[in-house]
Amino acid sequence: MKRVFAGLLAVAFGVVLLLGISASTGLFSYNEELLDDSAASHYIAKDVNGDTGEIIFGETMDAETGSANMVTSVIANYRSFDTLGEVTVLFLAALGVSLLAGSMDKGRKRRKSGFILKVSSGILFPLMLVTGIYIFTHGHLTPGGGFPGGSMIASSFLLLYLADENFRANVRGFKIAEGIAGTLYVVLGIIGLLAGGYFLINFLPTGVVGNLFSGGIIPIVYVIIGLKVGSEITGIITDMFNEEVKA
Amino acid sequence: MNWFNILEAGVSVLLVAVALAAVLSKKLLVSIIFLSALSMMAVSAFALLSAPDVAVTEAVIGSGLVTFIFVASIRNLGKAGEKL
């Protein structure tokens, strides 16, 4: 009886969700008329610095954020202070994991890894590392940014851990990198406060939309976030392998 | 009904099927692998819904790191958990 009731509840919830989604967008595709009425499209169409002209990739100069990726202009420019808080949350999570996992039993034997994994990790590791760096340096141009890029760097180190049972990452180096990156983010905000009057204001020229060196402080912020997230999650992975090197 | 709609319908059906498989499987390790597959299905759904930023994040974290953390936790459970 209980299970039947739970099943009915789940099905009813699914039907309500599907009806809600299809009312506004169709099952998986946009309903253009309804989309034009939504709040999001008003924000997309809103002109922000008085220039109502079309933004042309590779030609428009000195747009307000200068980022070709709309999501990035919100994350690393308009709501950059929220991102600072988000990075702090991740730091606290990593601290908690290291406090908990650091007290667990050490010296357990790690499972020997297979030959195929060992050989292929040598090929995959540099590719994953470079892809991660690419994702966060091009965060203002292409999808992705500091958080996915940093996580990809961390997962390349995870591959090394899985492939070689004697591998140890340099934990102290990662912690120093993490601390420096976090401090630089705040320092960047304070420079903005002194130069432009607001914490984390975009005080650099934004350049041509679509160039690698454009978007003012957005690429700098994303490189900082990428390095911080990468070293933090690598630290978490190291803790999960219970091999915290005693400082 | 073009090929795009068919792809979307296929992804939606697979999402539900893989989620059910993850819930109903008896072994924890099998559940985790199905959860990872569910993440990959979600990545396709996000990409089809033109949210590439979310898709990239989900691909890295959902199907990569979360899977690892779950497997590591299961291994640490030892005798309290199920025999793997």
| Range of the structural domain that residue B27 is part of | 3-80
Q: B20 pLDDT exceeds 60?
A: yes
Of all residues in chain B, what percent carry a pLDDT higher than 90?
37
Q: Is residue A86 part of a domain?
A: yes
Please judge whether A29 and B5 are an interchain contact, meaning their C-beta atoms are less than 8 angstroms apart: yes
Residue A147 Cα distances to A89, A140, A143, A151, angstroms: 13, 13, 11, 6
Which residues have C-beta within 8 Å of that of residue A189, sequence separation ≥ 6?
A: A80, A81, A84, A199, A200
- Which two tokens mark B57? 């994040």
Tell which B residues from 41 to 80 touch A, by Cβ distance under 8 Å: 45, 48-49, 52-53, 55-57, 59-61, 64-65, 68-69, 72, 76
> Considering the domain boundaries, does residue A9 fall inside one?
no
Q: Which residue of A has its CA nearest to B9?
A: A28
Q: What is the mean pLDDT of residues A139-166?
A: 89
Least confident range from A100-109, B19-28, B57-66: namely: A100-109
* Residue of B9, B45, B56 lying closest to A148 (CB–CB): B56
Residue A246 has a pLDDT of: 41
By CA distance, what is B63's nearest residue in A?
Answer: A155
Backbone φ and ψ of B20, nearest 5°:
-60, -45
With a pLDDT cut of 90, the percent of chain A lying above it is: 35
Task: Read off the pLDDT band of B17 (50, 70, 90).
Answer: very high
CA distance A66 to A211: 9
Least confident of A103-117, A135-149, A179-193, B23-37: A103-117
CA A25 to chain centre: 27
Please indicate, yes or no, if residue A183 is contained in any of the structural domains.
Answer: yes
End-to-end CA distance of chain B: 45
Q: Determine the structural domain holding residue A217 and report its residue range.
A: 70-101+122-240
How many domains is chain B built from?
1
Residues 6+ apart with CB under 8 A from A58: A208, A209, A210, A211
Measured between its terminal Cα atoms, the distance across chain A in Å is 57
Contact call for A158 and B65, based on CB within 8 A: yes
Q: Which residue is closest to A144 within chain B, CA to CA?
A: B53
Question: Which among B45, B48, B65 is the nearest to A233, CB-wise?
Answer: B65
Q: Indicate the angle between helix axes A171-196 and A80-101, nearest 10 degrees.
A: 160
Asked if A233 and A166 touch (Cβ cutoff 8 Å), the reply is: no
**Per-residue pLDDT at A245 exceeds 50:** no
* B49/A148 CB distance under 8 A: no
The two tokens of residue B46 are 């996000």
Domain tally, chain A: 1
CA-based nearest residue in chain A for residue B46: A28
Domain membership of residue A143 (yes or no) is yes
Instruction: For residue A11, tell me if it sits in a domain.
Output: no
Question: Average of pLDDT values for A216-235?
Answer: 92
Tell me whether A139 touches chain B (CB under 8 Å): no
